[in-house]
Amino acid sequence: MNIELSDVMKGFKPFLFEELYRKERAERAKGRDIISLAVGDPDIPTNESIVECAVQELHNAKNHRYPNTKGNERFRKAIAAWHKRRHGLDFHYIDEISILVGSKEGIAHLPLTVMNPGDLCLIPDPTYPTYRTGVVLAGGEAYDVPLTEENGFLPDLGAIPQKIAERAKLFFLNYPNNPTGAAADIYFYRELIKWAKKNEVIIAQDAAYSDIYFTEEPSPSILQAEGARDIAVEFYSVSKSFCMAGWRAGWVVGNSKLVCALNALKENFDSGQFNAIQNAAAFGLDHFEEIVPGVRSRFKKRAEDFCNGLKKAGWRLSMPEGSCFIWAKPPVDIPSEQAVVKMLEQEGVLAAPGAGFGAHGEGYIRFSTTEPEEVLQEAIRRISAVKW
């Protein structure tokens, strides 16, 4: 029998990083020593105190039963307390916070809660690919909003055609930004919320890199902008700031109708995250001030050293304001995929081609700084040796 896959399934392009993984595997199979800076998967081990907490939680038989999809009280209360300390915001742990099995899962499911087939979603270009996944799942349409260097990689709200703004149901944003490393400040968020209210567009701000910021001021929450809670949710993750990518824990916070709808939807898909993991993540949040600044300064130093190395090799770039990524143009103007293939074939360094993140990513290459310092130094040595 010829198994015919659904239109939704056919609507998915292969996940960008899967393609990159495949390329890397093929080169390694040839026996080559490859340095991969293509994906943002932190190499730094999770803080030992969190691991120890998880080990104890593992032995607690209460945790072996089904969790609650919304997340347990311990984790949700720790999240509420953290937002109070970090942003000065009060959130009700019952209906303004819901736990996710990694923020990617919630991001991909959110459009199903508010979009009907044919509805329009605004997506930044270049972008983290999961926003589009969600739109495909919901049968919606995506409209790409350019992020350009001239505009600090922020969307130019005034340039979004009025007809598009009126049709749009949802707008995904992500600051500190993957892939460009740009930051948004509270003034931008205030403008965005005014624009969103005027046009009745729901805002989903992805704060996966909220605590990997290199700016003087900590990166703000969109929910600090007046009225944001009426129209916005924000996605958080322990993957980057706590180097817990493999643990799969994140949360959504903000507008209670949206938070509760996402939770109600998820009850049909999953039964929440293992309570031992939730409790370990809660322990991490309780000790945020001791654990995260060290991670942040390490990523900052890596970014500075890597940027300096690239600049010496003739690359064109600015120092990122946050995230685990460097967004840079090679010494010659060349399509990004060709540049990636040249680096891989000549010197065994794999990076992510900017075009894979959207048309406005063309010309750029994204390097991830989630490998140890000595590997990053060796990568710079190799990249400097590439003959363009």
Ligand X SMILES: Cc1ncc(COP(=O)(O)O)c(C=O)c1O
Q: By C-beta, is 86 or 165 nearer to ligand X?
A: 86
Q: By C-beta, is 41 or 141 nearer to ligand X?
A: 41
Q: By C-beta, is 174 or 255 nearer to ligand X?
A: 174
Q: By C-beta, is 63 or 239 nearer to ligand X?
A: 239
Q: How far is the CB of 207 from ligand X (least distance, A)?
A: 8
Q: How far is the CB of 182 from ligand X (least distance, A)?
A: 12
Q: How far is the CB of 40 from ligand X (least distance, A)?
A: 5
Q: How far apart are alpha carbons 207 and 219 in whole angstroms? A: 9
Span between the terminal Cα atoms of the chain, in Å: 50
Contact 208, 41 (CB under 8 A): no
Q: By C-beta, is 113 or 180 nearer to ligand X?
A: 180
Q: By C-beta, is 44 or 386 nearer to ligand X?
A: 44
Q: How far is the CB of 212 from ligand X (least distance, A)?
A: 10
Q: By C-beta, is 165 or 202 nearer to ligand X?
A: 202
Q: By C-beta, is 110 or 120 nearer to ligand X?
A: 110
Which H, E and C letters describe the chain, residue by residue? CCCCCCHHHHHCCCCHHHHHHHHHHHHHHCCCCCEECCCCCCCCCCCHHHHHHHHHHHCCHHHHCCCCCCCCHHHHHHHHHHHHHHHCCCCCCCCCEEEECCHHHHHHHHHHHHCCCCCEEEEEECCCCHHHHHHHHCCCEEEEEEECHHHCCCECHHHCCHHHHHHEEEEEEECCCCCCCCCCCHHHHHHHHHHHHHHCCEEEEECCCCCCECCCCCCCCHHHCCCHHHCEEEEEECCCCCCCHHHCCEEEEECHHHHHHHHHHHCCCCCCCCHHHHHHHHHHHHCHHHHHHHHHHHHHHHHHHHHHHHHHCCCEECCCCECCEEEEECCCCCCHHHHHHHHHHHHCEECEEHHHHCHHHCCCEEEECCCCHHHHHHHHHHHHCCCC
Q: By C-beta, is 180 or 275 nearer to ligand X?
A: 180
Q: How far is the CB of 233 from ligand X (least distance, A)?
A: 13
Sign of CA dihedral 198, 266, 268, 13: positive
Q: How far apart are alpha carbons 345 and 53 in whole angstroms? A: 44
Q: How far is the CB of 325 from ligand X (least distance, A)?
A: 8
171-199 CB burial, b ≥16 within 10 A, e <16:
bbbbbbbbbbbbbbeeebbbebbebbeeb
Which residue ranges make up the site for ligand X (CB under 6 A)?
40, 102-104, 128, 174, 178, 206, 208, 237, 239, 245, 250
Q: How far is the CB of 82 from ligand X (least distance, A)?
A: 16
Q: How far is the CB of 352 from ligand X (least distance, A)?
A: 11
Q: By C-beta, is 99 or 310 nearer to ligand X?
A: 99
Q: How far is the CB of 264 from ligand X (least distance, A)?
A: 20
Q: How far is the CB of 33 from ligand X (least distance, A)?
A: 25
